[in-house]
Amino acid sequence: MDKRLIIAITLSFAVLAASQFFFAPKQSSNVNTTKVTAQTTETTANSKKKIPVNISGTLSKVSDNTSVPVKVVPSVKFRNSLMSVGFYSDGTIGSVKLFKYKDKKGIPTELVSPQNNFRPLQIVFADKKLNSEADKVKYKTAVNGETTLREGTTTITFTARFKEFILKKIFTFHADKYIYDIHIVFENYSGDKLLKSPVWGIAIGPHLGHLKKKKYGFLGAAVYSNGKLKEYKKIKKEINKKTSDISWIGLESKYFTSLLIPGKDALGFQMSEDALSSSFYTTVLYRSSDVKSRVYMGPKEYFRLKPLGHNLFYIINYGMLGFLARPLLVVLHFFFKLFGNYGVAIIVTTFIIRLFFAPLSHKSFKSMKKMKDLQPKIKELRQKFKGKPEQLNKATMELYKRYKVNPMGGCLPIVLQIPVFFALYKVLLSSIELRGAPFIFWIKDLSAADPYYITPILMGASMFLQQKLQPSAVDPRQAKIMLALPIVFTFMFLGFPAGLVIYWLTNNILAIAQQVLIDNKSK
């Protein structure tokens, strides 16, 4: 095998080791912001936090006024087959539980929990007096206790009477959905909408319940605005941006997200982070007295997000190779529906990929065989032009041209498969569809590493066998390098998702079968 092929393989997997750097979600940590003066507000006895906003022509700082958590049980609850949502008396959210996704103890995932002092969907004002009044005003609702929805929709309304207006927060929930509608209305006491509302905002934050950052995971804020996705792992300075083109904004972890779809009346958005608690706030600002928006609190599930529109599926960030990763996920999902097992789906998908690359692989094997046949002549040239590298290179290239051999012909299929490999790597690493998906026996989670390292070892063995079947290198140094590669790759794959290892193992097995077939035909 040509030395350049060895270099190509080695470099490709070196890139894989660094893929989290090159293909990781774009994160911004230093942005230009408008300098403003921070404000503070008091926390009431029931631990209701207010986020001060000060707008005079420009967007300004949103600060997290952290206080000692006070356990307050949400008084109004909604429940469908997928989740439960608990509201405090002011229409802010104090509890969100996802029934489908549980931890090892069988406890549902909490995106919002009361002990975390989490107040999503809190209304804040630019005016200090209104913020102070909002701390004291009481909301009323006709609903109390828990509402269970099995079909259709249900509405929960919270109403607050300020000195100069009435504020209504109207929630509409749907059966079997993580998304719900929120309608904010400012009215005068006669029941008409205000002609001119105060500048106000609605907040998501400060974090995603008890979820923590994990290896290769992401925990932070995100916004899809003006057709572009930006994710913020760290926010060194408050981010303030004027724009009416906000598809969505919110918070995310590796597998879950809390998003606000603001609608058409937004003025802009703000983001801030509390350095002590690593808590995030994202706030959308308005001047309208009648705003209809939507909220999604649930899994980053592609096939659930895509039909909802608003480019919500971009919250699943596959990086630069998203154009390959998303079709691969669709193919995997199709075969999962067919066979009921994502492990089998990976194997079948690998077969199709291998079939697609079969003509190139065939040319690659033929090229390597020709290279093997030329090795004696190349050895003669090395002896003849010993110590004369320029003349050796020229004579070698003439030899390749005479026998119509492309020295890089064996590399092409491998190079072309690298983007597919990376794309599938991102799918297996980032897609919640594969979280906890079992294969057979000891493999209970295809998104996690093989706990007994059986598949990585089999992958290394298959790679070793594949080398034995391929035309061997005459150069002893190359032979030693090739012998070491299966060992190196085996150790590299020990921590990779089991699904990815199964893909590579299957790919090797199919390559071996193809090599045997070609060898038998050439005899």
144: which 2 tokens?
Answer: 């109390």
The distance of Cα 467 from the centroid of its chain, to the nearest Å, equals: 36
The Cα 69–Cα 54 span in angstroms is: 26
The conformation of residue 106, written as its DSSP 8-state character, comes to S
Q: Maximum distance among all alpha carbons in the chain? A: 102
Of 75-89, 209-223, 237-251, 326-340, the one with minimum mean pLDDT is 209-223
Question: What are the residues whose beta carbons fall under 8 Å from the beta carbon of 471, sequence distance 6 or more?
Answer: 1, 368, 369, 371, 372
pLDDT in tens, 279-333: 777 889 999 999 999 999 999 999 999 999 999 999 999 888 899 999 999 999 9
How far from 341 is each of 50, 183, 318, 336, 394, CA to CA, in Å?
A: 48, 41, 23, 5, 54
Q: Work out the burial of residue 450: count CB atoms within 10 Å of its CB; fewer than 13 is exposed, 13-18 middle, 19 or more buried.
A: buried
Q: Sheet containing 228-232: which strands, arranged edge to edge?
A: 139-140, 153-161, 166-174, 179-187, 290-299, 256-261, 246-252, 220-225, 228-232
pLDDT at 184: 94
127, 198 contact by CB (below 8 A): yes
138: which 2 tokens?
Answer: 């009481």
Q: Is the pLDDT of residue 47 over 50?
A: no
Residue 512's SS3 state is: helix
95, 84 contact by CB (below 8 A): yes
Element (H, E) at 373: helix 358-384
59, 127 contact by CB (below 8 A): no
Of 28-32, 170-174, 261-265, the one with minimum mean pLDDT is 28-32
Mean pLDDT of the chain: 79
Beta bridge partners of 166: 161, 187
491's torsion region: left (phi>0), alpha (psi -120 to 50) or beta?
Answer: alpha
Neighbours of 366 (CB within 10 A): 15
Q: Work out the burial of residue 511: count CB atoms within 10 Å of its CB; fewer than 13 is exposed, 13-18 middle, 19 or more buried.
A: buried
The Cα 484–Cα 479 span in angstroms is: 9
Q: Is the pLDDT of residue 116 over 70?
A: no
Please tell me whether the peptide bond between 206 and the residue prior to it is cis, using omega within 30 degrees of 0: yes
Among 292, 285, 224, 227, which residue's Cα sits nearest to residue 257?
224
The conformation of residue 312, written as its DSSP 8-state character, comes to G
60, 53 contact by CB (below 8 A): yes
pLDDT confidence of 401, banded at 50, 70, 90?
confident
Most confident residue range from 110-119, 300-309, 440-449: 300-309
The Cα 281–Cα 49 span in angstroms is: 12
